[in-house]
Structure formats: C-alpha cells, structure tokens
Amino acid sequence: MAGRRNRHRRRQAKAQEDSHAKTASASSSRASTSRTAHPQPEGEEDEAWAQSDMRAMRRRLLDIIHRYYLDAIARLPPTELSTTLARGLLVGGHCFGPLHPVHNIIFNSLLYAAAFPLINTVDEEVVEEEVHALLSTDGIVRICHRSLDGLVASLRHCCPSLSTGDALWNLFSAGADFAAAISLANGTSKSSGLRFMASHGLAAFHLAAKTARHPNPTAFAQFASSVLPAVNSKHNIVQLVLMKHWLSTEDTHDLSNLLVPLPDDPPQSTLILSPQVLDHIASQKKQFEDTGKQVLNVVNMALQGHCTIRRAADASFCVLLKEEGLNDFYHINFLAYHKASGSAACAPVLFFTEAVILASAEIDIHLCVPFDLVTDIGCCFACERNKKKVVHPFYDEYLGGREFQVDEVDYGSNFPDPFDVDYIFFYAVRDRTFASYLGDC
C-alpha cells in the first residue's frame, strides 16, 4: 500500500511540475508580445514569469543536461575516463558548443584533456587509478549548472530582447540545444539558427565559457567557433560518434589529435604553495581515495546479485546522505556491462544502488536495480536538497525519497565550497585562483 501511495504522490508531483511548464508557456506567449529589439531593463526582465515557473524550468533543464552527461560518460572508453578524461569532463567538458549537447560534451572534454593536460610532479602522491574511476556527483552537478548558466548568458547575448525567463523557456523547448534555442527565439529554421550561431559564435561562446567558469574562455571560444566546425566539416567526426556510439581508446586518441591545433599556454612563473596548503590538498585527496574505495566496494557487493553483469571501470557517481533519524546511506549510480558482451560491443547499463551504513560499519544493500534513462525516473528529496544529481528509479522505494515541492529545493548555481574534483585534479600552474583561495582560508 505504501508503495502505491508513494507512486501516486510521485505522479501528482510530476503532473504539478508539468503544469509549471505549461504555465511557463503561457507566460512566454505573454512576454513575447512585448519584446523589443533592446535588452530588457534590469529588474523588470522577468515580470512576465513567476519565480516558481523559472525554478521549474531550471530544474527540468538541469535534468535534461544531466542525462546528456550520463550519455556522454557511457560513450567514453573506461580506461581513458578513469585517468585523463575525468578532468576534461568535469573541468572543461561543458555542454554548449556548435553541435548537439552530447557531442559538445565529448569533444569539449577531449579538447581540454589533451590541450591542457594535468602533469604530475615527482613529489605529488598519485591517487590509484581505480579510485579515479569514481566521478563525484558534486563535480557532475556543478558542470551541469555551469553549462546552463553559460547557455542562458550566450542565448541572451545573441537575442538581447530575451529575459532570463524567456531564455530558459527557449532552451527548455529546444532540449538545451543552443542553435535550436536561437532558432526558436528568432522564429527561424534550425539551419538559420546554425548560420546565426556561426556568425556570432566567437563572442557568444566566449561569454558562455566565462559565465560557466571555463579555465580558458578565450581558447574555448576559438575552439567552439572555428576549430571544431572546421574539423567536423573535414573529417565528419560527429558521424564517427554516431556510427560507433561507444568510443575506443584509439578513437579518443585520434579525435584528440584532430582537435588540438591550439597553442600551448604561455609560460607562467612557478607558484609556491605553503606547507599548510600542500598538507590540506593531500588530506583531501586521501579522504577522497578512502571514500572511493568504500563506494567501489559497495558497487561490487551490490552486483553480486547480478551474475551476468560486471562493473564498468569508468563510472560510479555517488552521494553519502545523512538524514535525521536515519543511518548514513549511499545513493549511487554506476555503469556496468553484461559479461558476455564486453565493453566495446554493447551499451553499458545504468544502475541505481542504495546502501545503508550500519552502526557496526557494515554495509547493507537495500536496492540495486538497472533502469533506462529514456523512461520516467524518480527523484529523491535528500539528493535534490543537497544538489546531488543521482537519478533514481521511478518504481522503487528508497530512503530520502519523500515528495517535495519545487520551492523546497535550491536550483541556483552557487557552489560556495570546493569539491573533490578541485583537489583531485589540482594543478598549481593553472589553478591559481583555487590556490589563492586555499591560501586565504
């Protein structure tokens, strides 16, 4: 009975969320009648949009973008993702660019990993490769938020009459596809939107990258507006991704060689870090390593009931939750392959696992189920409230999963605290802002 009641409440919540989008559509129609050819005045730009509508659209867009990231992660080779591409994805793999969002994520990640590699010095402790396979949900959700912020800023740059609410609506209607959103905003065809983007791309992508806090907005703008379209036109790399779907290590190496005609960074002076900062970074890396080992152990335990499945080396996305009155528990997404297929021959399967940490420090696996991102998926209030983008199955019960209103969750993009990814992939030559932050703490 409880399961049926919860499923009924979830359907009600989904219907309410859909009604927000419908209300947003009506608001968009009202707003479109009063648009001018000039930017909206500050403070008056979103009068036609209720804040609840804008929050609902932002939430739905983040869900769409998050699924794009899961799709992109599933297409990348496990070995590369667990070593070099994780940093490319979480630091420079934004979803905006001249192509479909999934392809943008893949090529932007390859570009950043190859053009701006992380070089370990002799005295740095190297984290085990297997632990690198853990992709923190914090890093994924932050790149989702930053990508959305960049999309909104660049769309409003290209279409100055749009308010923030208008931009969100057009992006939502276009599935977070930048060219399609331009077409919708201008009332033109997709091909016209692509031509418009081509002529305005350098400035638009620079603004998107700057807003999204890309480490090198100038290099990214040059890549997205010129290099990537030219490489795709000459080598048809999008068709390669569509045909192969799951890229091999050789594919990523070949693509990286095509995508990196960028000059190296200009030489910079050596950054001297204090012993306190170095100790803090080492401590955070060790903590991440210990957590990663525990999470991978949980995943292996969860898969014991799925004898035909083996864990993929490339991806586990987890969050450790603490709820009042409950034991600590993990919500984990991970990718795994059918043993008979091999990683190169078959699509990985996305799983959700809930594991409870008992008082004795033992792990109790409550749930381990596969599901399809194409079908409806549920959500968890505990994860959403803590800005953790872990996808949940719609049809099962789990801790922290009570129903909630959109207003109860903060969908803003402010992330005040450093994340695991900032420490794991810290590189003093390029991460000077972060190093200064640590020095001031």
* Residue 3 is assigned to a structural domain of this protein: no
pTM above 0.75, yes or no: yes
State the amino acid at position 246 in one-letter form.
W
Q: Same domain for 319 and 254?
A: no
Spatial strand order of the sheet with 309-321 comes to 309-321, 329-338, 349-357, 363-371
> pLDDT value at position 80?
81
* Residue 12 is assigned to a structural domain of this protein: no
Q: Same domain for 229 and 346?
A: no
Q: Same domain for 319 and 241?
A: no
* Nearest by Cα to 320 from 369, 353, 360, 284: 353
For residue 54, what are the domain limits? 17-33+45-259
> pLDDT value at position 82?
73
> pLDDT value at position 149?
96
> pLDDT value at position 393?
83
Cα(176)–Cα(4) distance, rounded to whole angstroms? 34
Q: Same domain for 196 and 327?
A: no
* Residue 5 is assigned to a structural domain of this protein: no
Q: Same domain for 286 and 239?
A: no
For residue 319, CA distances in Å to 316, 325, 401 come to: 10, 18, 14
* Residue 368 is assigned to a structural domain of this protein: yes
* Residue 196 is assigned to a structural domain of this protein: yes
Q: Same domain for 140 and 240?
A: yes
pLDDT digits (tens, 9 = 90+) for 351-383: 888 888 776 667 888 888 887 777 667 777 878
Q: Same domain for 202 and 117?
A: yes
Longest dimension (CA), the chain: 66
The tens-digit pLDDT sequence of the chain (441 residues) is 434 444 444 444 444 445 444 444 444 443 443 333 445 554 455 567 888 888 889 989 999 999 999 999 989 987 788 777 888 999 899 999 999 999 999 999 999 998 887 665 434 444 444 445 567 788 888 899 999 999 999 999 999 999 999 999 999 999 999 999 999 999 999 888 889 988 999 999 999 999 999 989 999 999 999 999 999 999 999 999 988 888 988 999 999 999 986 555 555 666 677 788 788 788 887 887 787 778 888 888 888 877 656 655 445 565 555 544 445 788 888 888 766 554 445 677 888 888 887 766 678 888 888 877 776 677 778 787 777 778 888 777 777 766 666 666 766 666 656 666 676 777 666 666 776 667 666
Answer for the pair 228, 98: CB distance below 8 angstroms, yes or no: yes
> pLDDT value at position 428?
66
Three-class DSSP labels, 327-390 = CCEEEEEEEEEECCCCCCCCCCEEEEEEEEECCCCCEEEEEEEEECCCCCEECCHHHHHCCCCC
* Residue 68 is assigned to a structural domain of this protein: yes
Q: Same domain for 234 and 328?
A: no
* Residue 428 is assigned to a structural domain of this protein: no
Extract the tokens encoding 141. 């959700």
Cα(210)–Cα(262) distance, rounded to whole angstroms? 18
Q: Same domain for 107 and 216?
A: yes
Q: Same domain for 86 and 152?
A: yes
Q: Same domain for 305 and 393?
A: yes
> pLDDT value at position 292?
76
* Nearest by Cα to 315 from 103, 89, 163: 89
Cα(437)–Cα(434) distance, rounded to whole angstroms? 5
Cα(417)–Cα(439) distance, rounded to whole angstroms? 14
The domain total for the chain is 2
* Residue 430 is assigned to a structural domain of this protein: no
Q: Same domain for 216 and 337?
A: no
